């Protein structure tokens, strides 16, 4: 190296040292790389449902594996925060939780679409502002009755009174029950206020209610597998934009067979759009973009990981994942729906006047 190049290199090193010294003197620090951020940290995973429910099972399965795919290997801490159809957890994420990527949530899809359809949910949070990390499943929902019920088919439910257990407003079990009343002529007497699907299952076994609606097919198979294998339930109808192949083979009719009005079909399709993000995971509004990318990448890697998939299969959890970007786009599209469709959708998930 000649003297000219040596002097140039020394000047460069000296300038770098000077810049570092100035930063330290000023009390500044260079931000840690995203890859180093999670080292030694915990990620609190708020679950907006009761322990033992379908959303809880999915979130805890993710919690057991997702940290392996995040640089720094943070520990996931699942924390149940049920209430208001998981609105309590969503409101906490929107207004209280840190935005640095150390808090994420699992909420019911009804909470995401709720402010669009339920006036009393408006103002608590804006679902379009959440940062979506992905969805573990895009499933089909069903209406079922227990084996002792006289209601064996949806046609029976159109002709006879049926007592249907449901959660609070905003939960799929309540909204979908009324949807079948208003758009398909079911004679459901909806008894709402149950904490979640586990409590409704027990009510069905005790004979307090005939059944429930808006139950995820994957949840039914994971929470009550013998009910399906031993035919302890009657599956009245399947609810999805496209028919579910397994239910088709079982002869379960799609809801579209019973919805006659084109306006109602559009409104029902809008409500069913939430099933594209059947198991949504999200970060608070304004979450740090660097950590969002890490979390989104880790989620998509996890849902393709053989160990996670084996764990999911063992727990009877169906996995049909969607990326955070896709979920974000679906939510934005929902909130750009026409006023007429939104108005009718609000009507069909509400108690008949």
The answer to whether the CB of 87 falls within 8 A of the CB of 121 is yes
With tokens 């809801």, the residue in question is 255
pTM for the model stands at 0.71
* Statement to judge: residues 173 and 253 lie in one domain: yes
Assess if residue 322 is contained within a domain.
Answer: yes
The residue range of the domain holding 180 is 141-272
pLDDT tens-digit series, residues 23-48: 333 333 334 455 689 999 999 999 99
* Statement to judge: residues 268 and 339 lie in one domain: no
User: Quick one: pLDDT at residue 63?
Assistant: 98
* Statement to judge: residues 47 and 114 lie in one domain: yes
DSSP tag of 11: H
Domain endpoint, select from 233, 257, 272: 272
- Cα separation of 48 and 62, whole Å? 15
Q: Chain-wide mean pLDDT for the chain?
A: 89
pLDDT tens-digit series, residues 173-200: 999 999 999 999 999 999 999 988 999 9
With tokens 């009507």, the residue in question is 347
pLDDT tens-digit series, residues 211-259: 999 999 988 998 999 999 999 999 999 999 889 999 999 999 999 999 9
pLDDT tens-digit series, residues 334-349: 999 999 999 999 999 9
Q: Which residues pair with 176 in a beta bridge?
A: none
* CATH at residue 150: 3.40.190.10
pLDDT tens-digit series, residues 62-107: 999 999 999 999 999 999 999 988 999 999 999 999 999 999 999 9
- Cα separation of 132 and 127, whole Å? 10
């Amino acid at each position: 190296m000649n003297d000219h190049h040596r002097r140039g290199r020394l000047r460069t090193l000296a300038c770098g040292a000077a810049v570092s010294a100035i930063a330290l003197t000023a009390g500044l620090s260079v931000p840690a790389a995203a890859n180093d951020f999670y080292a030694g940290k915990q990620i609190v995973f708020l679950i907006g449902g009761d322990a033992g429910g379908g959303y809880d099972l999915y979130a805890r399965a993710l919690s057991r594996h997702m940290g392996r795919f995040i640089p720094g290997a943070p520990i996931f801490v699942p924390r149940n925060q049920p209430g208001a159809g998981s609105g309590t957890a969503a409101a906490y994420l929107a207004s209280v939780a840190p935005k640095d990527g150390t808090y994420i949530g699992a909420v019911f899809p009804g909470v995401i679409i709720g402010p669009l359809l339920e006036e009393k949910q408006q103002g608590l949070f804006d679902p379009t502002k959440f940062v979506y990390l992905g969805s573990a499943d895009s499933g089909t929902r069903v209406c079922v009755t227990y084996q002792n019920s006289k209601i064996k088919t949806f046609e029976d439910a159109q002709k006879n009174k049926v007592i249907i257990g449901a959660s609070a407003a905003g939960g799929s079990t309540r909204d979908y029950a009324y949807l079948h009343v208003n758009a398909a002529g079911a004679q459901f007497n909806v008894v709402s206020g149950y904490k979640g699907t586990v409590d409704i299952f027990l009510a069905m076994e005790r004979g307090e209610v005939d059944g429930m609606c808006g139950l995820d097919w994957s949840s039914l198979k994971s929470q009550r597998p013998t009910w399906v294998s031993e035919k302890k339930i009657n599956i009245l109808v399947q609810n999805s934009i496209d028919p579910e192949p397994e239910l088709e083979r079982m002869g379960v009719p799609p809801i579209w067979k019973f919805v006659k009005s084109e306006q109602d079909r559009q409104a029902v399709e809008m409500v069913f759009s939430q099933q594209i993000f059947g198991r949504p995971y999200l970060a608070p509004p304004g979450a740090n973009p660097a950590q969002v990318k890490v979390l989104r990448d880790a989620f998509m890697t996890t849902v393709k990981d053989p160990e996670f998939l084996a764990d999911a299969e063992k727990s009877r959890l169906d996995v049909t994942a969607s990326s955070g970007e896709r979920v974000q786009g679906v939510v934005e599209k929902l909130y750009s729906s026409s006023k007429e469709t939104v108005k009718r959708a609000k009507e069909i998930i509400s108690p008949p006047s």
